[in-house]
Amino acid sequence: MHNKTLSELAQGLREKAFSSAELTQYYLDRIQQHDGNLNSFITVTPERALAQAKAADALLAAGKGEALTGIPLAQKDIFCTDGVRTSCGSKMLDNFIAPYNATVIEKFNRAGSVMLGKTNMDEFAMGSSNETSFYGTVKNPWDLQAVPGGSSGGSAACVAARIAPASTGTDTGGSIRQPAALCGITGLKPTYGRISRYGMIAFASSLDQAGPMTRNAEDAAIMLNTMAGFDARDSTCLDKPVPDYTADLDNRLQGLKIGLPKEYFAEGLDGAMASAIDAAIKEYQKLGATIKEISLPNTHLAVPTYYVIAPAECSSNLSRMDGVRFGYRCENPVDLEDLYKRSRGEGFGEEVKRRIMVGAYALSAGYYDAYYLKAQQIRQLISDDFKKAFAEVDVIMGPTTPEPAFNFGEKGNDPVSMYLSDIYTIAVNLAGLPGMSVPAGMVNGRPAGLQIIGNYFDEARLLNVAHQYQQVTDWHQQGPEKYL
Ligand code: GLN
């Protein structure tokens, strides 16, 4: 059962091979059995899930089932869910019960899907290893010594361990693609503006984007069909029709032009990782694609640029967590200033505080021009690099990460080396482009991810390109033995 894809599950439900209530109970049992070790969920919501399953069974019985009706999913704990704790991985929001649903949650509800629970994540989505969560680290199901990636580490681990059929993540600088790569699953960060950010707790508003985390590209297409679309409540959400993302999956890749940025294969890339990516590129050549070396000359500026812009935006976004309106409040404050200081001092973790300080500094009078304004100018140069590249090629490929999953503690004490691990994913967010990671081999027993970057709103093509690869390889079907 737990190796079935979303379309296989939908078929089983339609044919009454099992009910949604049975399917939901099956996954709740698997969570119970395996998540003690993995810690991929912050909150499991069995009662709510079984009630939703019952409602879905009624819809299915009436012949009103859609692609995701009755299918259990895991939601990253960054999406507000009415009546359910929405913690964002932080002590600050440990007691926060959201009073409304994020648009993404609302769309899944309307589609009749079932929410199993809320997944673990780096605090306020800041991190690449899930080591910053207030609720403890998430373990990588392939190797419990290894990090699952971050910030959507729980969403990646639960899908890899098959304790949820699919999940959602958010990606500000790589948080869907990087954990997908490290856990051997498929992850898609759509174009900025494709999916509503309403009710998705903001980290860096000009970069954040939600997306699906699944076992294969077809499942990602099915999830995106539900998640995408205009929302008047998010002014950065684009009013652009949503195609059926499953429609182009079977297109042939004959003549597809793939660009390989030389900067993505330079120093810093693990040798075995480079070989895995080379092998994937060869598969594409066999499928009829042509390869062209390209250059994204400002790649080396992406990490420093991001680590000015993202902290600047987060220092502003997180100012609402002040111990007054909602969330954590310190004990016995002596006055207002003490209340602010101690609530924020005690409620936020170390990495979040580091970012707030960097961001407040970069935005302060006297430094704004030197840091924030400069970063915005470089951001434009990075976007222009991609624009030039897409005049010549259809998609860009490279590794998602420089190396496979690292071990706990390996980078935790060295923020800069942690930040550098985002080198291949971050520029995509700065430019607002869509990017995907698909399983493409194993390096030292841990999964390797191939990144596919597309032009604006070219998600259908990315999914097609990923799907075709998954028709001729089986990396996406492999999983950690213990959970198969
Ligand atoms: N690892 C990056 C960071 O720490 C990206 C996180 C994300 O995409 N949410 O900011």
Mutate to test the pocket of ligand 1, among 88, 126, 414 (most ligand atoms within 8 A of CB): 126
Nearest CA to ligand 1 atom 10: 126
Average pLDDT (452-478) is: 98
Q: Where are the beta strands (DSSP E) in 45-113?
A: 72-76
pLDDT number for residue 279 = 98
Distance (Å, rounded) from C-alpha 29 to C-alpha 72? 12
Walk me through the domains of the chain, giving residue ranges and CATH numbers: 6-255 (3.90.1300.10)
pLDDT number for residue 34 = 98
Q: Is the minimum distance from the CB of 179 to ligand 1 under 6 angstroms? A: no
Name the average pLDDT for the chain. 97
Q: pLDDT class for 267, splitting at 50, 70, 90?
A: confident
Q: pLDDT class for 475, splitting at 50, 70, 90?
A: very high
Mutate to test the pocket of ligand 1, among 130, 175, 309, 414 (most ligand atoms within 8 A of CB): 175
Average pLDDT (165-177) is: 98
Number of alpha carbons in the 13 Å side-chain half-sphere of residue 92 = 29
pTM metric for this prediction: 0.98
Q: pLDDT class for 22, splitting at 50, 70, 90?
A: very high
pLDDT tens per residue, range 361-411: 999 989 999 999 999 999 999 999 999 999 999 999 999 999 999 999 998
pLDDT tens per residue, range 32-64: 999 999 999 999 999 999 999 999 999 999 999
pLDDT tens per residue, range 127-149: 999 999 999 999 999 999 999 99
Closest alpha carbon to 148 in 169, 124, 118: 169
pLDDT tens per residue, range 194-212: 999 999 999 999 999 999 9
Nearest CA to ligand 1 atom 5: 173
* Ligand 1: centre distance to CA 128 (Å): 6
H or E element, residue 1: none
pLDDT tens per residue, range 272-325: 999 999 999 999 999 999 999 999 999 999 999 999 999 999 999 999 999 999
User: How much of the chain exceeds pLDDT 70, in percent?
Assistant: 100
Contact status, residue 121 vs residue 133, Cβ threshold 8 Å: yes
pLDDT number for residue 412 = 72
Please determine, for residue 426, whether its predicted confidence score (pLDDT) is greater than 90.
yes
What is the SS3 assignment for 317? helix
pLDDT tens per residue, range 174-191: 999 999 999 999 999 999
- Token pair in block for residue 70: 């009755």
- Token pair in block for residue 102: 């994020």
Average pLDDT (212-232) is: 98
Q: Which residues pair with 40 in a beta bridge?
A: none
Distance (Å, rounded) from C-alpha 385 to C-alpha 427? 10
Q: Is the minimum distance from the CB of 174 to ligand 1 under 6 angstroms? A: yes
pLDDT number for residue 214 = 98
What is the SS3 assignment for 189? strand
pLDDT number for residue 112 = 98
What is the SS3 assignment for 115? strand
The residues, ordered by sequence, that sit 6+ positions from 107 with a Cβ below 8 Å of its Cβ are 226, 227, 229
Q: Is the minimum distance from the CB of 131 to ligand 1 under 6 angstroms? A: no
Closest alpha carbon to 159 in 112, 120, 195, 104: 120
Peptide bond into 151 cis (omega under 30): yes
Please determine, for residue 425, whether its predicted confidence score (pLDDT) is greater than 80.
yes
pLDDT number for residue 295 = 98
Closest alpha carbon to 150 in 135, 44, 474, 162: 135
Distance (Å, rounded) from C-alpha 58 to C-alpha 67? 15
- Token pair in block for residue 171: 């990606």
Interhelix angle 6-14/217-227, nearest 10 degrees: 70
Q: Are strands 257-261 and 395-399 parallel, antiparallel or unpaired?
A: parallel
Q: What is the sign, positive or negative, of the torsion defined by CA atoms of 376, 377, 381, 386?
A: positive
Q: Is the minimum distance from the CB of 35 to ligand 1 under 6 angstroms? A: no
